[in-house]
Structure 1
Amino acid sequence: MKRSLILLLIINIVGTFSYAQEFEGNVLDEKSGKPLENVKVTDLNSGKTSFTNEDGKFEFGEVKFPLELEFKRIGYLFLIKSFQENEQPSDIFLQREISQLSEVIVRSSNIPQEIRKIPASVSLISENDLKRTDNFNLVQNFNYVPGVFVSQGALNTNKINIRGIGSRAQYSTNRIKAYINGIPLTTAEGELTLDDFDPEYLDRIEIIKGPVSSAFGAGLGGAINLYTKNRTRDQRSVVADFSYGSFNTRKTRANINYVKDSLDLSFNYNQVKSDGYRENGEYDRISMLGSANLLNKKGNSWSFFFSYTNLKAYIPSSLNEDDFLNDSEKAAFTWYQAAGYESYTKNILGISYEHNFSESFKNQTSLFYNSRDGYEPRPFDILDDDRKSFGARTRFNYKTAIFSRASEISFGAETMFENYETGTYENLYEEAEERRSILGDRLSLNEQDRNYLNLFAQLNIEITSKLSAEAGLNFNTTAYNLNDKFNSVETNQSGDYRFEPVLSPRLGLSYEAFEGKNFYASASHGFSTPTVAETLTPEGLINTDLKTETGWNYEIGFKGNWLNNRLYTELNFYSIQIRNLLVARRVGQDQYVGVNAGKADHNGIEFTSAYETILSGNLVMRFFLNSSFNFFEFDRFVDLGENYSGNTIPGVPEYMISPGTEFSYKNLSANINFQAFGEMALNDANSGYTDPYQLLNLKLDYYWNLSRKLDLNFNFGINNILDEKYASSIVTNAIGFGGSAPRYYYPGNPRNFFGGLRLNFNL
């Protein structure tokens, strides 16, 4: 009996030593080959951690095979590597994050390629960039991008313009195409809302600046492409966080991820509530987002995305100059008395399939459905609208050789069918004893069925080893059917209408003059069709004479890496020449009508740079400097007998300069960023300007690994540290009625604070 026990003990000891062994290795910088100190190495089987020493060496006293190690260091891309029994690594190399900026593959291009080699201005907002600010509002991150400006009236009142295109839209974003995972977010009539999306659910945002009609259709200003996170290894996790900020702003969020083999599932719930800085500024939004990806054995993939949003947000509206300077917390009197607000329920559904016919030929096809049911009491009326749209986009990519040179051809189509019903009613709020809106008699009722078709093609070819060319062409046809359900026979405009077909070409060249340094030049055509709001007159009639707004963009630029890829820079010069300029003519209190009124020239300079350096083994510093200088003028613009030719286009700052820095020390990071904006013209006559303003912001993050399965993250920040008084948005061409002063100004938030706590539990 004793001999048996001793024998079992010996077998067990021998088996243990054969199963558990010591393990050591070295971690080096991929570019320089130098040892990396303070790399965190985690044994994913046991949860044990080790840190590299000054020679880049790490070791574990005991490991079990098969072994899976995770390597993490601030400033480098994390790496997961597997090892079999008795396998000892000689060297393990990590890639710097900054070296990847110019090598990022732009997914939104019809032919994906490295950002440095694309003959166009493309800006990337990475997941790390989205963490520089608070997590309440997605679009505030766009104001760090050269050439992009977001007018922020409130959490729900945001207007994006790219290179000045769309700056004169009154209360919403238009003339910009947007997609999430390839699913269109811009409506068939050209309007866009991005406020609903949770920034923490996104992996990256790609912004293509300037006319993009050759690839996306009606996008005179550019295109914004959002992408959700894509996990590549097995993972089951639950993330819960809570954030709180000034003005009783709070956000509750929960995210569930499940990744197993070829299946990737994710679901996100978040709610943002705020009392707002101003009167009548309460905000309440619930959003749910989900995505799924499935890869089959042949390498073909399915992806699914859905988004649900329910919003009710009160509207304080704009102020005159006196109230803006002396009582900026108040709401506009009529909007306060009517308790004006907007509310809607929105749904987005999309499914996509990518099929590889061969290594050189593949297709991606998407089907999508969007709906929005809105209700908006305003002092001058009550808007009740309902929009439903569905469509499809398909794209083929074929790699081949033309004249023995590597080439790729892309071609496809996008179509959308949209039904939009809009009606207005009298608002009898003045008859109410308390602050509220009262539904009165109907004023108008219109139903519009709009559809468009884009046919597009693109060719990329390497002319030489250093020179490449890109050519694209898009054909668009847009039509709509109007059913006037309210007006009498004399004024009824029901019928079929069609905009003139538009052909939009593009040509670009990129030349690698030196290693990692490219010069480029391009010319592209773009267009935007009028929105329903621009065609609708105050009497409920449709201006059927409006023409499509068109423009040409001419651009030259440079993209390059310096200092062993620690520094990346971009510089470009562009000129966009707009024809059949669509402008909003003020015809009543908070009422406008669109007219074609001439030509405009948008000339500008943009600069982007990012630099990273390691000050010591544990301290990493990153810098960025982004800037744009705008020279936007009316070339020829005469409206109602007034000649505005040569005047500055209102609603866009003359310049934007934004330097920032990030310090990272072990698990602590600090972001400090500064933004300087130039003056903005208030109206077409240039009779007034806003003052330039500067914003200084700070955010601190601390990451704490409590155990193998549980991570904890704290953050704290201050926006507008200097407590600057500024106009974050303006209503261009505002007019005072009844002897009142014009209400141009939306005041920006004063100094405000925020903080949050996040738990990440890996199952």
Structure 2
Amino acid sequence: MKNIVLLLLTVLTAMATTAQQTPATDTAGNLQSVTVKAYEQNRQLKEVSGAINYIGKPQLERFNNTSLLPALNSTPGVHMEERSPGSFRLNIRGSTLRSPFGVRNIKIYWNGIPFTDPGGNTYLNQLSYYNLNSIEVIKGPAGSLYGAGTGGAVLLNSQPDTWTRGVDVGYIHGSYNLNNLNAQVRVGGDDNRNSFGFTHQTSDGYRDHTNMRRDVATWETSLKINDRQTLQASVLYGDLFYQTPGGLTKTEFQNNPRGTRPNADALKAAIYQQTFLAGLSHQYRISEQLDNQSVVYGAFSVIKNPTFRNYEKRTEPHFGGRTVFNWNQHWKGTHLKISAGAEAQKGFFNTKTFQNKAGNPDSVLTDDDINNWLYSVFAQASLRLPGNWSLDAGASFNQSSITITRLSVPSFVPVKRTYSNEWAPRVALSKKLIPELLVYASVAKGFSPPTTQEVLPSTSVISTGLNAERGVSYEAGIKSSWLQQRLYVEVNVFDYRLRNAIVQRRDASNADYFVNAGSTKQFGIESQAYYQLLPGRGGFVSAARLWVSHTWSQFEYNDFKQGSTDFSGKQLPSVAPHVVAAGLDITTRPGLYANLTWYYNDPIALNDANTEIASSYQLSGGRIGWRTRLAGGLAADFFAGADNLFDVRYSLGNDINAAAGRYYNAAAAANFYGGIILKYVK
């Protein structure tokens, strides 16, 4: 494979020296001009009265093209963690309190398909970088349209802004034997589009026992039935393997950050994960005022997980659907849009635990059938009034249920728990004070039942007594453009009060379990600014953009007692008080470009008592490259880059409340990468 790539590089370099050069695409486009789908708005980001982070292709392409993590971490209020290659957690305003691993308490959709299963878990690591072209992160309770959840919602879109027939091929090689090969093929025309993709990624990882491999194959098609109807299908198969080295104590982290927890190799601790998902979406413009979008899907996941405590096997088939009707009416300078619909999911899970004998299942410990379902009914009205006023009001009703039957216990009586909530509303009001200054305020109520793996955690103790958490978020913000739209500034302030917050804890064997905290106080300010340094493109530098984001989080337990221990007033673990990201993006007319990034993270509390604190850290990195057109419809992007350029030792993805002080998962030291992307457009 490497010899083929080297030969290809040689040929293309020779071609590039004789090819006519054209100006590179401006990757520093105005963030404010993008159109977002969040809350069924389909409006420009600067006009939506809500805290939404938009990450487009230019932001994704600033980094190494292998992970979503650095792009997400460049936006305020969001923190993605990687405990080892392939093991991700996503934190939106403190949502990882409930996540020893994986993504919980956040509803995620891929091309409109519910990617979060009915048990409340999301296998985000099953997607590759190349399965996405844009990301919208809705921060705070989004239940008015997206069902139960207090952390937020994420809308993932794989379709490019402009669809063209062609072929994309890319290869990346980096430190710790990182290899990433991607191929995308697009065929068809305007009425019948087909896209086929395949990504293969491997890495040895920075730490011992952190090998990973991910293969993802996709097929996406769009068929225009007539002028009113379009049928789309998205099919994904992912096969993921990664080793889990386990958390380190502070002494181990300081002395040998590349080490593992004892017996990680002997027990062959790892994750084997396979997922198949197929979704069918139908868009129907019923009339000039009314349209509908409906999606049905089916998915099946198989997970094998030899751990330090046991060997777990999970099979998780599930299916579901979502439908949304939108009605639009204009009269006398007023626009009313009403969105209403429903979403439902059903799962038939089975979880078996065995004794772990050198990485193989031994005698059965537990065998559980898990039947879960959920549904949500929602409606929202958006009213645009004269005088640049806007009012959005929506609400949903959500219900979910879980039934567990322990097959390994004779005559076991199934245990059932149903979670239902009162209406979960959201109201937002905005006003344009001047054409380029929007002021908004909102209040939203959230509701989040425990996930399947919180009701049945790694202790294997059935915890149907765990209650759903509820919270109310008050928020206000501004979105503004200045200097002939060269400067965009966005600031939002929120005060979020959560009751019955679900908090992760660990027992003496380091198995996770969950309890309800009394209440939390979560106050924060999130801000970001983008500035186009150059007003024109007449010189050597065609575009230059400076950007910065800042997150200030004052998150505390308001009332939380465990036995005789009172954690009230303590800082919520896993959340840094201050996080800053900044960068400079430069593009030149010959196609040379540079993306420089700096990141700062405050100290983080590692346990509820705040007796252990992870140190602050600063990271620097960058990517340089050359985008050029070659012969015919062929274009190339040659690039190289570095992450953690100054070799900072830090932990990314701490194990909160870990037993025996095993909090730390060391992140990679200074590492480098290089690659090539070839694009052929027919």
The TM-score, its normalising length taken from structure 1, stands at 0.84
Matched residues in 2 for 1:152 and 1:109: separation? 29
For the pair shown, which has the larger CA radius of gyration, 1 or 2?
1
1:75 aligns with 2:7: no
- Partner of residue 526 from structure 1, selected from 428, 441, 446: 446
Matched residues in 1 for 2:331 and 2:417: separation? 43
SS in 2 for 1:133: coil
1:134 aligned partner: 64
Matched residues in 2 for 1:750 and 1:716: separation? 17
2:666 aligned partner: 747
- Cα distance, 1:175 vs. partner? 0.4
Aligned positions of 1:294-373 closer than 5 A: 294-373=223-302
Aligned positions of 1:484-563 closer than 5 A: 484-489=406-411, 492-536=412-456, 540-563=460-483
Contact 1:407 / 1:460 at 8 angstroms: preserved in 2? yes
1:673-723: CA deviation from partner (whole Å, max 9, x where unpaired): 000000000100000211110000110121121112221221100101111
1:125-148: CA deviation from partner (whole Å, max 9, x where unpaired): 010100111122223321111001
1:85 aligned partner: none
1:90 aligned partner: none
- Partner of residue 579 from structure 1, selected from 499, 503, 526: 499
1:97 aligns with 2:11: no
Aligned positions of 1:671-750 closer than 5 A: 671-736=595-660, 742-750=661-669
User: Greater RCO between the two (CA within 8 Å, min separation 6)?
Assistant: 2
Matched residues in 2 for 1:558 and 1:197: separation? 33
Aligned positions of 1:607-626 closer than 5 A: 607-614=527-534, 616-619=538-541, 620-626=543-549
SS in 2 for 1:687: coil
Code of the residue aligned with 1:461 in structure 2: it is L
- Partner of residue 157 from structure 2, selected from 224, 227, 230: 227
SS in 2 for 1:729: coil
* Pair 495,260 (structure 1): closer, same or farther in 2 beyond 3 Å: same
Matched residues in 2 for 1:678 and 1:126: separation? 27
2:676 aligned partner: 757
Code of the residue aligned with 1:561 in structure 2: it is S
2:403 aligned partner: 481
Matched residues in 2 for 1:639 and 1:465: separation? 53
Matched residues in 2 for 1:268 and 1:349: separation? 15
The TM-score, its normalising length taken from structure 2, stands at 0.94
- Cα distance, 1:445 vs. partner? 0.9
- Partner of residue 571 from structure 2, selected from 648, 654, 660: 648
* Pair 404,560 (structure 1): closer, same or farther in 2 beyond 3 Å: closer
- Cα distance, 1:636 vs. partner? 0.3
Matched residues in 1 for 2:395 and 2:416: separation? 27
2:583 aligned partner: 660
1:115 aligned partner: 45
- Cα distance, 1:617 vs. partner? 2.4
- Cα distance, 1:510 vs. partner? 0.8
Contact 2:238 / 2:275 at 8 angstroms: preserved in 1? yes
- Cα distance, 1:439 vs. partner? 2.1
Code of the residue aligned with 1:509 in structure 2: it is L
- Partner of residue 512 from structure 2, selected from 592, 610, 623: 592
Contact 1:111 / 1:410 at 8 angstroms: preserved in 2? no
Contact 1:160 / 1:167 at 8 angstroms: preserved in 2? no
Matched residues in 2 for 1:532 and 1:417: separation? 13
- Cα distance, 1:151 vs. partner? 2.0
- Partner of residue 365 from structure 2, selected from 428, 433, 443: 443
Contact 2:350 / 2:367 at 8 angstroms: preserved in 1? yes
SS in 2 for 1:575: strand
1:471 aligns with 2:389: no
- Cα distance, 1:655 vs. partner? 1.1
- Cα distance, 1:228 vs. partner? 1.1
Code of the residue aligned with 2:523 in structure 1: it is N
2:115 aligned partner: 185
Measured on the aligned residues, the alpha-carbon RMSD in Å equals: 1.9
Contact 1:190 / 1:218 at 8 angstroms: preserved in 2? no
Code of the residue aligned with 2:669 in structure 1: it is P
Matched residues in 1 for 2:394 and 2:311: separation? 44
Contact 2:20 / 2:629 at 8 angstroms: preserved in 1? no
Structure 1: gaps (5+ residues) = 1-47, 52-71, 77-95, 430-436, 737-741
Aligned positions of 1:200-239 closer than 5 A: 200-230=130-160, 232=162, 235-239=164-168
1:579-624: CA deviation from partner (whole Å, max 9, x where unpaired): 0111123223221222212101111000011111327523121111
SS in 2 for 1:499: strand
Aligned positions of 1:253-268 closer than 5 A: 253-268=182-197
- Partner of residue 523 from structure 2, selected from 584, 603, 612: 603
- Partner of residue 635 from structure 1, selected from 540, 546, 558: 558
1:631-670: CA deviation from partner (whole Å, max 9, x where unpaired): 0000000012210000000011121111100111120110
Matched residues in 1 for 2:367 and 2:69: separation? 33
How many equivalent residue pairs? 661
Aligned positions of 1:22-41 closer than 5 A: none
- Cα distance, 1:493 vs. partner? 4.3
SS in 1 for 2:233: strand
Contact 1:730 / 1:745 at 8 angstroms: preserved in 2? yes
Matched residues in 1 for 2:160 and 2:390: separation? 30
Contact 1:711 / 1:761 at 8 angstroms: preserved in 2? yes
Matched residues in 2 for 1:693 and 1:111: separation? 38
Code of the residue aligned with 2:302 in structure 1: it is D
Matched residues in 2 for 1:597 and 1:677: separation? 26
* Pair 247,707 (structure 1): closer, same or farther in 2 beyond 3 Å: same
Contact 1:634 / 1:646 at 8 angstroms: preserved in 2? yes
* Pair 393,299 (structure 1): closer, same or farther in 2 beyond 3 Å: same
1:281 aligns with 2:197: no
- Cα distance, 1:762 vs. partner? 3.1
- Partner of residue 410 from structure 1, selected from 335, 339, 354: 339
Aligned sequence identity (%) = 27
1:457 aligned partner: 379
- Partner of residue 124 from structure 1, selected from 28, 49, 54: 54
Matched residues in 2 for 1:504 and 1:239: separation? 44
Matched residues in 1 for 2:155 and 2:613: separation? 33
Task: Extract structure 1 runs of 4+ deviating beyond 6 A.
Answer: 48-51
Matched residues in 1 for 2:621 and 2:457: separation? 43
1:731-763: CA deviation from partner (whole Å, max 9, x where unpaired): 111122xxxxx2110111100000001222234
2:13 aligned partner: none
